Structure 1
Amino acid sequence: MRTCSLFLILCLGVSTLLAQDYQKTSSGVKTSQGGIDLELQFITPSVVRVVKAPQGHVYTKESVSVIAKPQKVNFQTTAKDYQIILSSGSIKVCVNTQTGAITYQTSKGEILLTEKETGPKFIDFNDAGVKTYTAYQPFLLDKEEGIYGLGQLQNGKMIQRNMTKNLIQGNVEDVSPFFQSTKGYGLFWDNYSPTLFTDNESETSFRSEVADCIDYYFMYGANADGVIAQMRYLTGEVPMFPLWTYGFWQSKERYKSQEETVGVVKKYRELGVPLDGIIQDWQYWGNNYLWNAMEFKNPSFSDPQRMINEVHNMNAHMVISIWSSFGPMTKPYKEMDKRGMLFNISTWPQSGLETWPPEMDYPSGVRVYDAYNPEARNIYWKYLNEGIFQKGMDGWWMDSTEPDHLDWKPEDMDTKTFLGSFRKVRNIYPLMTVGGVYTHQRAVSNDKRVFILTRSGFVGQQRYGANVWTGDVASTWESLRNQIPAGLNFSLCGMPHWNSDIGGFFAGHYNKSWNDGSGSKNPMFQELYVRWLQFGAFTPMMRSHGTDVPREIYNFGVKGEPVYDAIEKMIKLRYSLLPYIYSTSWDVTNNQSTFMRALVMDFVDDKKVWDINDQYMFGKSLLVAPIVHPQYTPEKAVKVSEEEGWNRDSAKKVGNNTLTNFAETKTTKIYLPAGAVWYDFWTNQKQVGGQEITKETSLDAIPLFVKAGSIIPMGPDVQYATEKSWDQLELRVYTGADGSFTLYEDEFDNYNYEKGAYIEIPMKWHDSGRKLTIGDTKGSYPGMLKNRTFKVVLQDGKQKIVHYNGKKVTVSF
């Protein structure tokens, strides 16, 4: 947390400021104009902080997102023609002293972004008895400029233009007041209250309900990766996740006994289908009055230590559901209640009885805890540690981290928190509660990397070992289509770990009656599930989850049947790609890269990709084009909200009484970005970029292409991520361009890599010489392989065996 104060700048007593009327500081300048105090601060040569407040207003601004310490930046300041110009060598910042508007330029003078001259505006506001302001700042964007970000929205849009959106955390939408542009810059509006984002023909603006000041960061990265690097410098770098988190995960709402939970893992092992994780959802604590007790009080979980041990003995990992609220009979509730650390907003579950709709004559008494309070976070961890972590739990499913806020009333926002009103800090609740668990676990253990699956996120959360999922989305094709741009825009905010419930959460409309299990045999759901699973295989976490319809592979049939085989094939492909995925994870941590890459990140010069919302790069080599429209069954439009989804008795039903032949071949249209040559992953057929092609499809294969110049390591056939060492990898080389790849390995689940315990094996393909060079191994770690064999395979079928002992070797074709 960083504190910065902006103090009164004396007015010079004239209506129009001359350019020389400013104060130079060690990091920028201060000036006043039109009743507004302004301070510019260079954080890095490419990042500028802008702080504005009503003239003479004295305040303290504490940032919880920004943790970077400003660098010592050499910059030049000149005053000319009613302008103050600051030049860092990377960017120029020009302040118009007649209007106060700021213009940002490249070092060559190309305009990147301009504030609109009519802004900013401060409106007096009484926030729960505290004098403050509502703050507004408009900007001017180019008409054809594409912008991305704002968090995870469900609007299906890739480019976030021509819209008005109230940014407030919710179940299926996670918001961050940040966007980046196709012009290579980003803007982070450092405010945590509900904020109205507007983009129309006249302006692009932020208007926050509560603001002691306007506080935003302009950053120039030249491209999307550069902007993300600047954003992570400001708000935190990404730690390495354990290798097992990138395997396949099975979950449902909910396994009702420890025998059922363990039984799922056993069944996967019996079937020979790879699995790395099982997730235990709610009610292992007992009833709603014991909500989130962080203890196993449900008689069906009478021996939790044995349950965890049995899962571990099958070489699987376990994650468990924890919430941001507590029932009145729990120990955390009682301790926090005495200390005034619980809110009085309505939250889930509202009734003490497990019925729908809630029976309000029997209120649950469940209350959200004040995660803004460091002492409350200490208490939260104390019970989590004693009740669950010490038993060997591997990770946390932090649900309702928005948190759930039901039956919203205006006065709810007046609720006092440790950091001010709930209104003032509403949007950073997930950052605070997730950060609390991460920080505390790291303080007590370096042997187990923190892994948190959570429903909400805010910029900065990437530093806390958190993978955000999209909440309780509906099991519909429209919802599947929305997930792709949601994940891409979330990633473009600098938060690389993201996933969604494979198959969608609410699926009751596919059942003939509630919970009879028939939905998994409904061809309409089967097709949707397979296509969602194929998409999920190319996200940072491949996790099957939902309610109403069972999701375990054995519910969809048996081996030899098309749906079962399609599911198994994609799970196994995921495991084959683990060396590629884990090396990409290191690229994310070490080089500020991104897993799910919007096409604009790598092909910004091809304007046709700017608004493509159903294709993306997974890592820097694989072009993924999920099938997002049904090809074998009809699409029935079903709208399901979170409230309607739980009302199983009145769920709209969709049936499919027609015969479905999943063996038929279909087709789909795919655009291959210009500037590259592409190979079909399945057939190795070569295609030139810059064109739309018609691709034959089948139920069991997602359209997948590899960029020429790629080197993709393929791993062994395994049942879990660490079953076999990577001593006999297949290196697939796709010719047609020069390329490189760095294979990364470490101990897979501790923090020793932070001390240098890891290796990198650099690989380079020289296309004209048709040579692959595997360089000297860099680094070491205990137990590392000293010798290994690579099978190098070109896409045309040519292959060679290479024996590698850590020393440079060149393979010629």
Structure 2
Amino acid sequence: MKRFFLIFALVLTMAQARAQTLKVEFFTPSIVHIIKEQPTKSLVVTAQPEQGVAIQNGNTWKSGQLTVKQDANGALTFLDAKGRVLLRERSCSITDGKVSQTFRLDKDEAIYGLGTIQNGKMNRRGEHKRMEQSNLEDFQNVLQSIKGWGLYWENYSPTQFDDDANGMTFTSEVGEGIDYYFMYGGSADGVIAQMRHLTGDVPMFPLWTYGFWQSKERYKTAAETEGIVDKYRELQVPLDGIIQDWQYWGSNYLWNAMDFLSEDFANGPQLIKNVHAKHAHFMISIWASFGPMTRQFRELDEKGLLLPIETWPQSGISHIWPPRMDYPSGVKVYDAFSPEARNIYWKYLKTLFDYGTDAWWMDSTDPDFFNPRESDYEHPVTGGTWRSLRNAFPLETVRGVYEKQRRVSEEKRLFIMTRSSFAGQQHYGSNMWSGDVNSSWDMLRKQVPAGLSFSLTGNPNFNTDIGGFFCGSYNTRGPGSAPQNPQFQELYVRWMQYGLFCPVFRSHGADAPREIWQFGEKGTPVYDAIEKMIRLRYRLIPYLYSTAWQVTSNNESYLRPLFSDFASDKKVWDVADEFMFGRSILACPIVNPQYTEEKVIRTDAMTGWDRQEARGESAVQVDFTTSKTAIKYLPKGALWYDFWTGKAYQGGKSVTLETTFDRVPMFVRAGSILPLGPEMQYVGEKTWDNLEFRLYPGADGTFTLYEDEGDNYNYERGVYATVVFSWSDKARTLTIGARKGEYPGMLLKRQFTVALPDGTTKTIDYDGNQTTITF
């Protein structure tokens, strides 16, 4: 009897599938849009379907790259041009306002993406996850397979993702129809390119954003903020950005007033001018919510453009924890789905822009949503309900700022750092950080796959709070003492060595200050290790900025899982502690303690605010000057050079390395041409008139050096220059091509110093014409 009912249910599901209205439309020969019943009004997809790229013959649709077949039960199968099955539908459901689609995967097929899931895994097989934006985890509904296909599930409501014996299933809480895009790119890069074709390319960030950023929760006076810049300049440690976190506006009742209303920031505009005079840039915290005494709140409230959800901060009294709920803050989130609300948001934000603010820290763009009630989810917002549009909130609020600022000025590139992201957000000048993560080795390990998974959704810009946000458990000698605790010192240094490879290199956190001098003084191991990574970051900026151009112009990524370049090596399919940084550098950060014992920390985005500090523990004596060992795997199919020693290793095996506290293990792929800039106190302090190019023999290779004005949108009109470097390994010849393009202030004549791993160097004069060097 049980079997009978199972068969009956399956037949009923198939009958329902056959009865559904199906629409198949091709956006390119490699991208097909599937709609069953009603399509979603897209907030994400900006591309349009192409006519004539596919031919329908009955229940088969065929382009030059894809074939889609519908079987007798209504299920679709996707095949490549050679007829190989890529993906099969299994069953679907559209009932009671919910939608669900199940797919069949191959038994050992690895799948990746979805977003910043903080569980330390790369492969999403066996995953069960409710996908709703939050402080620590963010979702883009985009995944891809090791087989080279990708899928974007077009739905903005909270969605359950399940992969088990029944198949791979998306189940969304709201939907009038099933709506998804199937993409075949042939590789990880190919899928990313397809996703960006659908949703938009990645605009360039300003050149200076690739320098070092200092922040903390929070600098409490304008003098303190400015003084941080002064101290870095005094110590001659490079710095390009200073960040002003929350409450510069005053009390919680004035939450996010977008102006310097606190008496401790009485002359905020002068603060920004002073920071600029010190050759640094200024980022400021803004939120998606407003206190009841702000002008924004009153205007939005009059128009019904505020949400009733419980959000941060919960109390109007800012210095007491837990929150005094008998003094509620009255703070409310605005309806970012409303064009009118986004206009109001920018109208007031422009005050800070006019003061000279260089970049926006858009915090709580998830947004914070505490103690959710059913009525909250059903609350109407522009275009639907809070439930139906919930996950797209970060996209809309970030897009609003990007579009408004670009209409005001093309002279200053948008740079937005935000805590949450949805599909397509890469097109709106934003870099996402991974939220208020705790300070632990476990969390450091989780950041690596989280950033890679995020990048695989088409969003390349990711960073974390270096050292973790909540470090109170390391304050063993009293409040703020963590930087003197060897356990935290080791964690912080290794986290900074991972941060070296993120698009944004930023130190931030609560419970203790994180400035370099908090960890000691010059000449001591911890201070010197931090300074060494900051200085190396500046030397890598020519490589990083040229990579940024490839991200913009060629759909590449900064953070590349190893299978992006070495998919044939099955050993790298689930590697979660190594990755490619651009095309040339294999990053192998140390993510386990070598000098201290691992301290187990368990906090979340709310309990971490308790700032519970462990005290009275005995001091740990550690000698950070000793060397240790680490085992790292080098992908098959390449020759690898140790960046620090120049020693060559054959790929396809694990190697035991001697490691030191002040060096992050990193390798350079044979055939790479790696540019290194001069040491600088800030971007632009020195011209790139004699770049060093490290050349790694063993394979042919090319590299394109990209340069432009650094901080406007003229590059979109072709105002930039490129120089292509090509290495022939057999001839041992480096050809430096003729410069293409030009921009104001461009160096017409310069030198390049080319260095081999064996120490051989040659310096040549370059005037923009092609030249060749033979080794």
User: Normalised by the size of structure 2, how large is the TM-score?
Assistant: 0.97
For 1:653 and 1:764, how far apart are their aligned partners in 2?
58
Are 1:563 and 2:538 an aligned pair?
no
Q: Which amino acid aligns with 2:626?
A: E
Please report how far the alpha carbon of residue 419 of structure 1 lies from its aligned counterpart in structure 2 after TM superposition. Answer: 1.5
Structure 2 counterpart of 1:10: none
Are 1:638 and 1:652, in contact at CA under 8 Å, matched by a contact in 2? Answer: no
State the distance in 2 between where 1:76 and 1:68 align: 20
Partner of 2:79 in structure 1?
105
Matched, 1:122 2:84: no
SS in structure 2 at match of 1:538 = coil
Q: Structure 1 residues 108, 293: closer, same or farther in 2, change over 3 A?
A: same
Aligned 1:393-472 pairs, distance under 5 A: 393-472=357-436
> Is the aligned partner of 1:534 residue 2:497?
yes
**Any idea what SS the aligned residue of 2:640 has?**
strand
In structure 2, the partner of 1:327 is 291
Correspondence 1:699 to 2:661:
yes
CA displacement at 1:657 relative to structure 2: 2.1
2: CA distance between counterparts of 1:748 and 1:370?
34
Alpha-carbon spacing, 1:349–1:513, altered in 2? closer, same or farther (3 Å):
farther
- Aligned to 2:690, the other structure's residue is in SS state coil
Give the match's secondary structure for 2:641.
strand
Once residues 739 and 150 of structure 1 are traced to their aligned partners in structure 2, the CA distance between those partners, rounded to angstroms, is 33
What is the alpha-carbon distance in structure 2 between the residues aligned to residue 77 and residue 550 of structure 1? 63
Contact 1:43 1:73 in 2 (8 A): no
Aligned match of 2:136: 172
Match of 1:214 in 2: 178
Contact 1:265 1:314 in 2 (8 A): yes
What secondary structure sits across from 1:534 in the alignment? helix
Query: In 2 relative to 1, CA 145–652 (structure 1 residues): closer, same or farther, beyond 3 Å?
Result: farther
- 1:520-554 per-residue CA deviation (whole Å, 9 max, x = no partner) reads 10000000000000000100000000001210001
Indicate which of 273, 284, 290 corresponds to 2:237.
273
Alignment of 1:245-644 (within 5 A): 245-354=209-318, 355-386=320-351, 388-512=352-476, 515=479, 517-644=480-607
CA drift at 1:647: 0.8
Alignment of 1:2-21 (within 5 A): none
Which residue, out of 27, 46, 50, partners 1:67?
A: 46
Q: Find the counterpart in structure 1 of residue 7 from structure 2.
A: none
Q: Once the 2 structures are TM-superposed, how far is the Cα of residue 798 of structure 1 from its aligned partner?
A: 1.1
Counterpart amino acid of 1:794? L
The alpha-carbon deviation at position 783 of structure 1 amounts to 1.3
1:95 match? 70
Q: 1:523, 1:656 within 8 Å by CA — same for their partners in 2? A: no
Please give the alpha-carbon distance, in whole angstroms, between the structure 2 residues aligned to 1:418 and 1:518: 48
Following superposition, the deviation at residue 77 of structure 1 comes to 2.8
Q: Find the aligned partners of 1:530 and 1:60 in 2 and give their Cα distance.
A: 49
For residue 641 of structure 1, report the CA deviation from its aligned partner: 1.1
Distance 1:513 1:333 in 2: 43
| Contact preservation (8 Å) 1:616, 1:623 | yes
Alpha-carbon distance in 2 for matches of 1:243, 1:157: 32
Residue 200 of structure 2 aligns to which amino acid in structure 1?
A: G
**Contact 1:101 / 1:114 at 8 angstroms: preserved in 2?**
yes
Q: In the alignment, what sits opposite 1:19? A: none
CA shift in 2, pair 1:712/1:656, >3 Å: farther
Q: Secondary structure at the match of 2:41?
A: strand
Contact 1:509/1:654 (8 A) holds in 2: no
- Separation (CA, whole Å) in 2 of partners of 1:234 and 1:514: 52
The residue identity in structure 1 corresponding to 2:46 is I
Map Cα deviations across residues 464-483 of structure 1 (whole Å, 9 max, x no partner). 01000000000000000000
Answering whether residue 722 of structure 2 is matched by residue 760 of structure 1, we say: yes
1:513 CA drift (Å): 6.1
3-state SS in 1 of match to 2:432: strand
Counterpart of 2:44 in structure 1: which amino acid? Answer: S
Q: Tell me which of 624, 630, 639 is aligned to 1:677.
A: 639
Measured in 1, the distance between the counterparts of 2:550 and 2:350 equals 32
AA of the residue aligned to 1:70: P
Separation in structure 2 between the aligned mates of residue 60 and residue 628 of structure 1, nearest angstrom: 44
Partners in 2 of 1:787 and 1:77 — Cα distance?
58
Query: What SS does structure 1 have at the residue aligned with 2:21?
Result: strand
2:674 aligned residue: 712
User: In structure 2, what residue type is equivalent to 1:68?
Assistant: A
Name the CA distance, whole Å, in 1 between partners of 2:315 and 2:513: 26
The one-letter code matched in structure 1 to 2:328 is: P
Q: Displacement of 1:724 after TM fit?
A: 1.2
> 1:636 deviation in Å?
1.6
Which letter does structure 2 place at the counterpart of 1:741?
F
Q: 1:199-257 CA deviation, whole Å, 9 max, x = no partner? A: 01220010000001110000000111010000000011000000111000000000000
Q: Does 1:689 find its partner at 2:648? A: no
Q: Which SS does the other structure have where 1:802 is aligned?
A: strand
After superposition, the C-alpha distances for 1:11-35 in whole angstroms (9 at most, x for unaligned) are: xxxx99xxxxxxxxxxxxxx99532
Question: Per the alignment, do residues 734 and 338 of structure 1 end up closer, same or farther by CA in structure 2, a change over 3 Å counting?
Answer: same
Count of equivalent residues:
762
Q: List structure 1 runs of 4+ shifted beyond 6 angstroms.
A: none
Query: Which secondary structure does the structure 2 equivalent of 1:603 belong to?
Result: coil
1:42-96 alpha-carbon deviations (Å, 9 max, x no partner): 010000000002xxxxx563100111122234323334xxxx2222111111111
Counterpart contact for 2:214–2:242, Cα < 8 Å: yes
User: After superposition, what is the alpha-carbon deviation per residue over 1:432-472, rounded to whole angstroms, capped at 9, x for unaligned?
Assistant: 00000000000000000000000000111000010000000
Pairing partner for 2:19 from 22, 35, 38: 35
Q: Does 1:44 align with 2:28?
A: yes
CA distance in 2: counterparts of 1:409 and 1:421, whole angstroms:
13
How many Å separate the matches in 1 of 2:173 and 2:693?
54
What do residues 339-382 of structure 1 show as CA deviations (whole Å, max 9, x unaligned)? 00001110000000021000001000000000000000000000
Q: With structure 1 as the length reference, what TM-score do the two structures score?
A: 0.93
- One-letter code aligned to 1:377: R
Distance in 1, matches of 2:428 and 2:63, equals: 32
SS in 1 for 2:392: helix
Deviation at 1:407, TM superposition (A): 1.5
Does structure 1 retain, via aligned residues, the 8 Å contact 2:94–2:176?
no
Aligned CA-pair RMSD = 1.3
1:106-143 residue CA offsets vs partner (Å, 9 max, x unmatched): 10001100001xx211111xxxxxxxx10010000011
C-alpha distance in structure 2 between counterparts of 1:653 and 1:374, whole Å: 51
Q: C-alpha separation between the residues in 2 aligned to 1:293 and 1:342?
A: 15
Are residues 417 and 784 of structure 1, via their aligned partners in 2, closer, same or farther at CA, if it must alter by over 3 Å? Answer: same
- Cα separation, 2, equivalents of 1:297 and 1:194: 37
Q: Secondary structure at the match of 2:606?
A: helix
Shift of 1:652: 5.0
Checking the alignment, whether the CA contact within 8 Å between 1:508 and 1:514 is kept in structure 2 is: no
Determine the C-alpha separation between the residues in 1 that align with 2:719 and 2:226: 34
Residues 244 and 721, structure 1, Cα contact 8 Å, conserved in 2? yes
Q: Using the alignment, how far apart are the partners of 2:669 and 2:134 within structure 1? A: 37
2:715 maps to 1:743: no
Q: Does residue 193 of structure 2 align to residue 229 of structure 1?
A: yes
Conserved in 1, the CA contact under 8 Å of 2:366 and 2:420?
yes
